[in-house]
A = this chain, B = another copy of it.
Amino acid sequence: MKVKPECAACIVHRGIQEIIEATEDEIVRFQAVNELMKFLAEKFTPQGVPADLGTQRDRIIKRITENPDPYKNKKQISNRKALELFPKVKKLVESEVSTEKRFRKACLCAIVGNILEFDIPDHTFKLESLDDHMKNAEKDLAIDEIAKIYEEAKKAREILYLTDNAGEIVFDTLLVKELQNLGANVTVAVKGGPIINDATLEDAEASGITKIANRVITTGTDAVGLNSKECSKEFLEEYGLADLIIAKGMGYAESLTELKIEKPHALLFRTKCNPVAEFFQVPKGRNVAKLLP
């Protein structure tokens, strides 16, 4: 999907929150703001993809502030809080008797995990409200193609699972487990370097997913969503041979909808902003489980 004019407000808002996290030096903060504005003055065009602009924004911020990982602390907090909630969420999945119902519940938990996010304007979330989100997960499911995803998962021998945020990745372990129970090998791919609050290898370790997945790899790059030009050979090989891709979060939804999709991709995410919600023709603040192509 392409950017809308209002995406600029969100890109700037998140950028400034990140700049403030990254450095306490006010002069450097102003320099980073100026560089960000200069970048958007040139590159914020109707052909822009929000995920790509987010990637470039973050690289500017990391370079100017000389902080390679502004959300390091917030990511650790997210993982810790998600791990505290995990036993409760796990029970929800395990309380289902049939394989298909367990799969469905694990998908919903993975989507609810995607609600854990920092610094998107108007997207306020308290981890404590997780109970409400779990209760509303079915009702909030504006696009429900979980049954179709289940059928693809049953057929798949090799599945590539693309994670989104730290914290969220803790909940992903439940879906990885259900995918394995259907007979598939599951490779989990985290980001190749720090980018916003996206999960990296460090978060894969902290979340416990390393112990569950058949293999954990990285995308080979610190990009929001999927930037195939930058991905490692290892990642592209895995992406090429997988029978099913599970892609978490808006970043992957933004970039995968720009590619020619030739095999099943399951998008699992929450619509956290109007442009993404409008693209998928659902309201903001809803859950989406969509099978591409």
Contacts and interface: CB of A to CB of B under 8 A. Distances in A.
Q: Is the interface of A mostly helix, strand, loop or mixed?
A: helix
Interface in A1-54: 5-6, 8-9, 12-13, 16-17, 19-20, 26-27, 29-30, 32-35, 37-38, 40-42, 44-46
A8 B29 CA distance: 11
Given A33-B40, A41-B41, A44-B33, A5 B19 contact: yes
Interface in A57-109: none
A222 B12 CA distance: 26
Contacts of A32: 5
B8 A37 contact: yes
B34 A46 contact: no
A44 B30 CA distance: 7
A240 interface: no
A171 to B, nearest CB: 28
A10 B176 CA distance: 41
As for how many copies of this chain the complex holds, the number is 2
A22 to B, nearest CB: 11
A117 to B, nearest CB: 17
Size category of the binding interface on chain A: 20 to 34
Contact of A41 (B20, B26, B29, B37): B37
Nearest to A16: B9
Nearest to A122: B121
A42 B31 CA distance: 10
Interface string A167-179: 0000000000000
Closest 10 A-B residue pairs measured CB to CB? A37-B41, A38-B41, A5-B29, A37-B40, A9-B16, A12-B12, A9-B13, A37-B37, A8-B33, A34-B41
A30 B46 contact: yes
